[in-house]
């Protein structure tokens, strides 16, 4: 007759029972449903349906040895390739740097994927409004692009930045989480930018005052990936478009 009854377990013995039905060799570190079924067969205590799943999911041995069937990797996505200058930009933030007299501590960076041209703008913080202001400065200098690619930082994924890009009809693309290599153009420029700014900082200069000079130097240097400097690509592209218009008869 006792096989038809359950033993009511006081709260102080719940962990002991869970170790018996789950951690012991007969328990076998089974999953949630098997452990719950085995516990209900002989025991009862309040909130079994909530306590047992939490216990099983927090078991260290189960976590390190069992393979999950859930997809934990981001799907491979392809980002748009530019056909002309200032069509697709990668953007990111670098820093923090030493606080300047104006309170600047970060640098907003954006790289045009066609010319490899770098845009750098100092920031006091990295909230949505400040980042949108930097993007606006870039657009007013080089024109509104078609696509902006960034990581999934809150300064880029927030509603304010999304509405700003939507207003200007700019498509936002985001890299997979923890995949910094997808922003390789920006990350490589960050390394060079930090190296150049450090040399000025070590001789007593304020980094924020040298930022634009360093950016100019980088944009006028030959990029190993395209064998031209970004400024040369801009000039070449401009002359190519002008000659194309002339030979097509638009200026005859």
pLDDT (tens digit per residue) in 162-197: 999 999 999 999 988 777 677 888 888 988 898 888
DSSP assignment, residue 113? T
CATH classification at residue 128: 3.30.420.10
In a domain, 72, yes or no: no
Residues 211 and 109 in one domain: yes
In a domain, 97, yes or no: yes
Domain count, the chain: 2
Residues 58 and 12 in one domain: yes
Asked whether the CA dihedral 155, 160, 166, 168 is positive or negative, the reply is negative
Residues 98 and 208 in one domain: yes
- CA 13 to each of CA 32, 191, 214, 234: distance values in angstroms, whole numbers, following the listed order: 19, 58, 68, 75
Residues 97 and 219 in one domain: yes
In a domain, 104, yes or no: yes
- CA 10 to each of CA 14, 46, 51: distance values in angstroms, whole numbers, following the listed order: 7, 9, 14
Q: Half-sphere exposure of 237 toward its Cβ, with a 13 Å CA cutoff?
A: 13
Residues 101 and 204 in one domain: yes
Residues 55 and 100 in one domain: no
Residues 38 and 94 in one domain: no
Helices vs strands, H then E, count in the chain: 10, 7
In a domain, 252, yes or no: no
Position 77 pLDDT exceeds 70 = no
Residues 101 and 217 in one domain: yes
Confidence of residue 68 (pLDDT cuts 50, 70, 90): low
In this prediction, residue 73 carries a pLDDT of 61
**Mean pLDDT of the residues in the chain:** 83
| Averaged pLDDT, 101-113 | 92
- CA 26 to each of CA 19, 21, 36: distance values in angstroms, whole numbers, following the listed order: 11, 7, 14
Residues 104 and 199 in one domain: yes
**138 touches 109 (CB < 8 A):** no
Please give the residue range of the domain that contains residue 35.
7-65
Flag whether the pTM goes above 0.85. no
Residues 30 and 115 in one domain: no
Residues 46 and 95 in one domain: no
Confidence of residue 249 (pLDDT cuts 50, 70, 90): low
In this prediction, residue 243 carries a pLDDT of 46
In a domain, 146, yes or no: yes
Peptide bond into 38 cis (omega under 30): no
Residues 53 and 102 in one domain: no
């Amino acid at each position: 007759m006792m096989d038809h009854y359950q033993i009511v377990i006081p709260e102080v013995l719940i962990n002991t029972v869970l170790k018996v039905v789950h951690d012991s060799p007969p328990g076998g570190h089974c999953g949630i449903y098997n452990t719950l079924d085995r516990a209900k067969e002989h025991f009862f205590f309040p909130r079994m349906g909530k306590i047992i799943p939490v216990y099983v999911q927090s078991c260290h041995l189960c976590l390190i040895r069992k393979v999950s069937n859930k997809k934990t990797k981001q799907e491979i996505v392809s980002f748009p390739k530019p056909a002309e200058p200032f069509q697709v930009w990668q953007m990111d933030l670098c820093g923090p740097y030493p606080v300047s007299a104006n309170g600047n501590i970060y640098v907003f960076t954006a790289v045009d994927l066609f010319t490899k041209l770098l845009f750098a703008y100092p920031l006091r913080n990295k909230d949505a409004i400040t980042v949108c202001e930097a993007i606006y400065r870039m657009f007013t200098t080089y024109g509104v692009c078609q696509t902006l690619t960034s990581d999934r930082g809150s300064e880029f994924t927030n509603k304010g930045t999304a509405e700003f890009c939507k207003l200007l009809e700019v498509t936002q693309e985001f890299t997979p989480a923890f995949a910094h290599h997808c922003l390789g153009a920006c990350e490589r420029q960050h390394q060079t930018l930090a190296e150049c700014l450090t040399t000025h900082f070590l001789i007593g200069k304020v980094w924020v005052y040298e930022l634009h000079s360093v950016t100019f130097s980088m944009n006028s240097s030959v990029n190993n990936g395209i064998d031209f400097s970004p400024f040369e690509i801009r000039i070449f592209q401009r002359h190519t478009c002008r000659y194309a218009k002339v030979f097509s008869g638009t200026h005859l």
